[in-house]
């Protein structure tokens, strides 16, 4: 029997890999759809983390049609495919990132999705009923997950293109799935997956002096807040939570009411739009408490 030329074997292997990747990506989208997600933010980044393309609102139906082309382009150009599920109204989607195998063991029984994003490194997703932003942080803390994870994730079936993994780049894989699995906060609390409540925040060291009186004026520049924010500890780019908090802090100091600030944060902040109104209102209320303490 004659041997199959290497270049033909390589093409066949590539096609099998692409088909498998598409299947895993489709399953991942199905899991989010079953929980009420109807659209995603889509980002493509290069090996250095630089943003190459961004679509803030991609309907799930459209994303399904484009998925094969996106994965092929990403593979050919070594791009990371990152999606952010836009808020499901009835549930809070909690992303537990950067988990070790032992940490994963504690949360896998509550997760509807577990990904292996890099060798030996896992990410679990929980669909929690009636969890506000503070509760989501407490869950992350108890699980030992990355507290700065923003809800954006590499899609299953795509590759994790980082220089440290070259030339054998890791393909993001489905580790386990549990379609439509949801949990309530009490279940997590009973399992030791709800940390103690956080103390009220203090004003950040770089915050401006807060004044007792400031006539209502224009909104502060969110772009400036983002530019001045510290670098994120566990991912590329700025700490968007810090930028959101600073925007709210400045807005409330200027006299804007809390609900108006929360609504404006949803306009200005990509993260706030993805996490929804509960996150925006909670951030604005935290900022208000800091402003009030500084005025007493």
Span 174-193, average pLDDT: 96
Position 206 in a domain: no
Position 205 in a domain: no
pLDDT tens sequence across 135-144: 998 999 999 9
Indicate whether 35 and 108 sit together in one domain: yes
Indicate whether 91 and 158 sit together in one domain: yes
Position 23 in a domain: yes
Indicate whether 140 and 230 sit together in one domain: no
pLDDT tens sequence across 211-261: 444 445 689 999 999 988 888 765 667 888 889 999 999 999 889 999 999
Indicate whether 29 and 165 sit together in one domain: yes
Range of the domain at 260: 222-295
DSSP characters over the chain: -PPPPHHHHHHHHHHHHHHHHHHHHHHHHHHHHHTT--EEEEEEE-TT--EEEEEEEEEHHHHHHHHHHHHHHHHHHT-EEEEEEPPPTTEEEEEEEEE-HHHHHHHGGG-SEEEEEETTEEEEEEEEET--HHHHHHHHHHHT--TT--S-EEPTTSEE--GGG-SSPEEPEEEEE-TT--EEHHHHHHTT--PPPPPPPPPPTTPPPP-S-----PPP-HHHHHHHSPBPSSSSSB-HHHHHHHHHHHHHHTT--HHHHHHHHHHH-HHHHHH-HHHHHHHHHHHHHHHHHHH-
Position 30 in a domain: yes
Span 179-183, average pLDDT: 97
pTM recorded for the entire structure:
0.71
Indicate whether 227 and 165 sit together in one domain: no
Indicate whether 243 and 125 sit together in one domain: no
The predicted pLDDT at position 88 comes to 66
pLDDT tens sequence across 60-77: 999 999 999 999 999 999
CATH number where 153 lies: 3.30.70.1790
The domain total for the chain is 2
């Amino acid at each position: 029997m004659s041997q199959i030329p290497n270049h033909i074997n390589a093409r066949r292997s590539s096609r099998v890999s692409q088909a498998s990747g598409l299947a895993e990506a489709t399953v991942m989208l199905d899991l989010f759809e079953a929980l009420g997600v109807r659209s995603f933010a889509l980002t493509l980044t290069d090996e250095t983390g630089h943003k190459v393309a961004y679509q803030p609102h991609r309907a799930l139906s459209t994303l399904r049609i484009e998925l094969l082309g996106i994965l092929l382009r990403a593979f050919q150009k070594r791009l990371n495919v990152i999606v952010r599920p836009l808020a499901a109204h009835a549930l809070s989607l909690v992303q537990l990132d950067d988990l070790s195998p032992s940490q994963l063991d504690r949360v896998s029984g509550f997760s509807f999705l577990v990904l292996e994003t890099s060798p030996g490194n896992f990410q679990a997703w929980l669909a929690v009923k009636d969890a506000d932003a503070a509760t989501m942080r407490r869950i992350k803390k108890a699980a030992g997950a990355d507290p700065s994870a923003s809800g954006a994730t590499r899609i299953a079936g795509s590759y994790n293109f980082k220089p440290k993994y070259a030339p054998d780049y890791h393909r993001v894989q489905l580790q386990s799935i549990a379609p439509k699995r949801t949990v309530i906060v009490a279940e997590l609390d009973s399992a030791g997956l709800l940390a103690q409540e956080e103390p009220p925040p203090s004003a950040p060291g770089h915050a401006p002096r807060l004044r007792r009186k400031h006539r209502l004026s224009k909104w502060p520049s969110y772009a400036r807040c983002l530019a001045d924010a510290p670098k994120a500890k566990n991912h590329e780019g700025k700490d968007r939570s810090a930028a959101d908090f600073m925007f709210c802090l400045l807005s409330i100091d200027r006299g804007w009411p809390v609900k108006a600030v929360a609504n404006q944060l949803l306009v200005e902040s990509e993260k706030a739009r993805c996490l929804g109104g509960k996150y925006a209102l909670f951030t604005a209320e935290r900022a208000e408490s800091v402003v009030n303490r500084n005025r007493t």
